[in-house]
Structure 1
């Protein structure tokens, strides 16, 4: 079994939850904020994945068998490694949005100073 095939269900579930979150965000009229926060998070995760996977592979902590990867690499890491942070970001954004009911917090108590 290849890493691409193993990652497909995770990306699929993440995409479904993300799209449900997008529908929820649309009803609340915060679609732009939903997508932009997901995009920013995903970009950061992809950059960190690229850096740390290459460092750990260069240090010899782990490697992938050549039969289980597509063969396309970014320096030392296979591109399939990017599917895990993408799936995580999709899933987290969707779950976060679905759990947020938009309830407003009560205003903070203010104290009046006496003169």
Structure 2
């Protein structure tokens, strides 16, 4: 299995969770209007931090990649595949937040 295919699995799962969360949300337009700027800022920050720290870890020898499993696109010494995991987290966390928040609101209404 290549690093690209492994990255695509994580991205697909994260995108599916977010899609389900948004599809079942009643206030989807409000959420997207409210979240697009924070998500964009977070994506930019995560990309910069991933580029910096992955390059440091690779340069110091903490991480070593099998060249035959890489796509070949590098940002410094960091393979492009490394950037999929922060993006997957960026997709997954809002989806989980929405799904769990909806459940806790239902649970709070039952107790009252």
1:107 counterpart residue number: none
- How does the TM-score come out when normalised to structure 1? 0.78
Following TM superposition, where does structure 1 have runs of at least 4 consecutive aligned residues deviating by more than 3 angstroms? 25-28
2:60 counterpart residue number: 59
2:2 counterpart residue number: 2
1:99 to partner: Cα distance: 2.1
Q: Which has the higher helix share?
A: 2
1:27 to partner: Cα distance: 4.1
Q: Kindly indicate whether the alpha-carbon contact (under 8 Å) linking 1:2 and 1:68 is maintained by their aligned counterparts in 2.
A: yes
Between Structure 1 and Structure 2, whose CA radius of gyration is higher? 1
1:33 to partner: Cα distance: 1.4
1:88 counterpart residue number: 89
Uncovered stretches (5+) of structure 1, i.e. residues with no partner: 104-115
- Give the 3-state SS of the residue equivalent to 1:5 in structure 2: helix
Distance 1:87 1:70 in 2: 18
Q: Kindly indicate whether the alpha-carbon contact (under 8 Å) linking 1:38 and 1:93 is maintained by their aligned counterparts in 2.
A: no
Q: May I ask how many residue pairs the two structures share in their alignment? A: 103
Instruction: Name the Cα RMSD after superposition.
Output: 2.0
1:14 counterpart residue number: 14
Matches within 5 A, 1:36-51: 36-51=37-52
- Give the 3-state SS of the residue equivalent to 2:50 in structure 1: helix
- Give the 3-state SS of the residue equivalent to 1:32 in structure 2: helix
